[in-house]
């Protein structure tokens, strides 16, 4: 069934507590963890507990949870004390996606380069 945990998914294992991570926020439907290889002083990944490979598939199946990723990203930024931040959703390997369990990158805490890429 759509959204079920996948045995070969790193982030499903983190959600299940089978692999450790630094959890910064949790809701019934989402968790937020620090990225293991931070690209900015704040680099947090907000993800649904349910497994969907990317943002469009999550939004199609569970639009309220997709929206909650954004409100949770804002809560993370507020807790980290950053007013301006960048949200990134990579969709597909060609765009840099390496973990196929949807996650929003929350990046901030330093001046971020302007531009799209």
9 lies in the site for Zn ion, by CB under 5 A: yes
Positive or negative CA dihedral for 94, 46, 4, 65?
Answer: negative
Contacts of residue 66, Cβ cutoff 8 Å, sequence gap at least 6: 55, 58, 59
Instruction: Give the tokens for residue 44.
Output: 């947090």
At its nearest, how many Å lie between Zn ion and the CB of residue 50?
8
Catalytic annotation, pick one of 51, 101, 103, 105: 103
The DSSP symbol for 72 reads H
Contact 55, 90 (CB under 8 A): no
Residue 16 CB, shortest distance to ligand 5GP, in Å, is 13
Q: Is 103 an active-site residue? A: yes
Give the binding range for Zn ion (CB under 5 A) out of 28-36, 62-70, 73-81, 100-108: 100-108
- The listed partner (Zn ion, ligand 5GP, none) that binds 69, CB under 5 to 8 Å by sort, is none
Give the interface with Zn ion as residue ranges (CB under 5 A): 6, 9, 11-12, 51, 101
């Amino acid at each position: 069934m759509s959204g079920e945990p996948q045995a070969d998914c790193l982030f499903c294992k983190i959600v299940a507590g089978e692999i450790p991570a630094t959890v910064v926020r949790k809701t019934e439907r989402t968790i937020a963890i620090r990225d293991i290889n931070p690209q900015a002083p704040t680099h947090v990944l907000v993800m649904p507990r349910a497994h969907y490979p990317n943002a469009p598939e999550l939004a199609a199946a569970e639009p309220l949870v997709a929206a909650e990723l954004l409100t949770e990203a804002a809560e993370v930024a507020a807790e980290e004390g950053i007013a301006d931040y960048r949200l990134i959703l990579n969709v597909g390997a060609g765009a840099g996606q390496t973990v196929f369990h949807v996650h929003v990158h929350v990046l901030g805490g330093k001046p971020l380069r302007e531009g799209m890429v």
